Structure 1
């Protein structure tokens, strides 16, 4: 099972955004700090999950994925498979489409302090 920690950060809301992705897989760790352009904070959180799924499809095809995020909104939307928000709805659809490439995709909310590595990577991406 691959553990994936994601976080989105913005400078301003909306503002310049970045995604931080920290992956633990097969005894190794992988770090990604990806600029996202101008987004709201919540959009950045969704995009971090999407980018992480893209990375996992390339690097870890066919694996079981266990995602962790400190965004209650993102975790709730994915778990309930529903949002009324017109901005988040297409992002949820992208997540579902990308998650379908894996046998199992789990997402779990974690406190911010347990997601500090992904947070640092997301903040670093803002300055790229």
Structure 2
């Protein structure tokens, strides 16, 4: 039987859940369900594979520490993406395209990060 672990900080495998504080409580999210995270001031919007998004009261730096698995890459000051959903990198337009099902998401990426993007 596959038993999932709950972590609020530290290292874990891809199928673990993380705890994200919200304004009204907290969320428990499987890391494989996260497409990308985008900073919004001191908050972070988490974009999920089911099409929903959630707002966490944690800043992007704290989210990055929680997502310290190889499938997540910080591509700019304001975005962390799940490289499992990476479909295309367009160097000319400086975007990363994520794809899940029939939906695509275009994320801007600075030229410097294009060269250092690790998969």
TM > 0.5: no
Q: Which has the higher helix share?
A: 1
TM-score (norm 1): 0.30
Query: Highest relative contact order (Cα 8 Å, sep 6+), 1 or 2?
Result: 1
Q: Which has the higher strand share?
A: 2
